[in-house]
């Protein structure tokens, strides 16, 4: 089995721009990772891309897979099993678990990607040992997950915990993608907001390392901004600090509403580390009420970019009844 123990599952984390999948063995080790771009597809093409990625991982482990867990950036309706809406991807009103189970002929479980991530971090990551954990994943958008009283909280019908679409500026800029709102936290503290901030700043200050890199044809991306900031570029550092302060407003609200033990920050933007987290903590400390502001520790995700994958694999292994799931015809018959 190419170094993978019997009883492995596959975890899939689908984001706004990329898909990450891997086989996870019973001790939690991830094998045979695949990372593919997810942009530029319609819904049918995206489903095909996801299935193809899973099949590739399955072949890499010799075909011995017990189940597949998917974390996708959608709201869900637990009454119908539908993945209702994704803000940054063309997924809507789709029975995702049923479609994947039929295509893969394996048991499938699916949940919001940030719900998967917070499960991983609360069980075995930055929030291990805590019963009250909130997670934000800063990428193309902002995903969020709640782990309250020792379990993932999904809201009345499964569409809750969309903290990225909490309004922090009533008259702010329109949110992105399919969100109908304005002034969402996502619009000011996501990776998309970071790239926009740098683009505007470089227009005013082109004579910096990041400005020269862009002039030389290098694509402006979140990882590039982080790289330049860590190397000392003033425009990149200022942009990350701006995003961090905006994030801090969201953290103050989280501290006031949930009073968690830990707020975990994950997603690609979290690679900026303390350049992002220090201003976020400072703003939260000034704006939040006691005791929440004093109790909530703000920490980077221990699993980094793989938190969603690991959490999806946890769900696949357990196949809980409170998330959309389906059994493939072959696997169901063999169970």
In DSSP notation, 13-45 reads EE-SSEEEEEEE-TT--EEEEEEEE--S--HHH
- What contacts 33, CB < 8 A, 6 or more positions away? 20, 21, 22
C-alpha triplet 298, 302, 286: angle, nearest 5°? 10
Q: Which residues, in sequence order, are bridge partners of residue 20?
A: 13, 35
Residue 329's pLDDT is: 54
Residue 320's pLDDT is: 84
| HSE-CB of 142 using CA atoms within 13 angstroms | 28
Q: How far apart are CA 317 and CA 335, in angstroms?
A: 14
Q: How far apart are CA 325 and CA 187, in angstroms?
A: 32
Give the homologous superfamily in CATH for domain 126-301: ATPase, nucleotide binding domain (3.30.420.40)
Residue 84 near residue 324 (C-beta atoms within 8 A): no
Can you give 239-269 as a three-state secondary structure string? HHHHHHHHHHHHHHHHHHHHCCCEEEEECHH
Give tens-digit pLDDT for 231-282: 999 999 999 999 999 999 999 999 999 999 999 999 999 999 999 999 999 9
Q: Which two tokens stand for residue 287?
A: 């704006």
The pTM of this model reads 0.91
Residue 328's pLDDT is: 64
Residue 143 near residue 164 (C-beta atoms within 8 A): yes
Cis geometry, peptide bond prior to residue 291 (ω within 30 degrees of 0): yes
| HSE-CB of 71 using CA atoms within 13 angstroms | 34
Question: Which one of 1.10.10.60, 3.30.930.10, 3.60.15.10, 3.30.420.40 gives the CATH number of domain 9-112+307-334?
Answer: 3.30.420.40
DSSP helix/strand/coil, 56: helix
Residue 12 near residue 33 (C-beta atoms within 8 A): no
For the chain, the domains span 9-112+307-334, 126-301
Residue 203's pLDDT is: 92
Residue 171 near residue 184 (C-beta atoms within 8 A): no
Residue 334's pLDDT is: 33
Q: Which two tokens stand for residue 56?
A: 């590739």
Residue 78's pLDDT is: 84
| Consecutive H or E run containing 192 | helix 191-204
Residue 322's pLDDT is: 80
| Consecutive H or E run containing 265 | strand 262-266
Identify the segments of the chain with pLDDT beneath 70: 1-5, 328-335
Residue 335's pLDDT is: 30
């Amino acid at each position: 089995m190419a170094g993978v123990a019997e009883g492995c599952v596959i975890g899939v984390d689908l984001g706004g721009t990329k898909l990450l999948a891997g086989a996870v063995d019973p001790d939690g080790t991830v094998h045979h990772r695949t990372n593919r771009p997810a942009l530029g597809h319609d819904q049918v093409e995206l489903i095909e891309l996801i299935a193809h990625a899973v099949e590739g991982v399955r072949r890499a482990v010799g075909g011995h897979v017990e189940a597949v867990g998917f974390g996708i950036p959608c709201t869900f309706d637990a009454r119908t099993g539908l993945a209702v809406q994704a803000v940054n991807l063309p997924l809507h009103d789709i029975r995702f678990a049923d479609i994947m189970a039929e295509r893969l002929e394996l048991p499938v479980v699916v949940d919001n990607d940030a719900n998967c991530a917070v499960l991983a971090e609360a069980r075995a990551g930055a929030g291990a040992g805590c019963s009250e954990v909130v997670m934000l994943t800063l990428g193309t958008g902002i995903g969020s997950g709640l782990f309250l009283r020792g379990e993932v909280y999904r809201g009345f019908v499964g569409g809750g915990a969309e903290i990225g679409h909490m309004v922090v500026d009533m008259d702010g800029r329109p949110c992105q993608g399919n969100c109908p709102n304005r002034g969402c936290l996502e619009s000011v503290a996501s990776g998309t907001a970071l790239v926009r901030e740098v683009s505007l700043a470089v227009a005013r200050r082109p004579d910096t390392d990041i400005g020269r890199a862009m002039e030389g044809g290098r694509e402006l991306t979140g990882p590039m901004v982080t790289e330049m900031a860590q190397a000392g570029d003033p425009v990149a550092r200022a942009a990350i600090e701006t995003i961090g302060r905006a994030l801090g407003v969201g953290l103050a609200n989280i501290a006031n509403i949930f009073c968690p033990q830990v707020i975990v920050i994950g997603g690609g933007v979290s690679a900026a580390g303390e350049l992002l987290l220090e201003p976020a903590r400072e703003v939260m400390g000034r704006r939040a009420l006691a005791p929440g502001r004093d109790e909530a520790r703000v920490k980077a995700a221990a699993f980094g970019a793989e938190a969603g994958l690991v959490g999806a694999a946890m769900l696949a292994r357990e196949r809980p009844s409170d998330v959309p799931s389906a059994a493939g015809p072959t696997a169901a018959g063999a169970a």
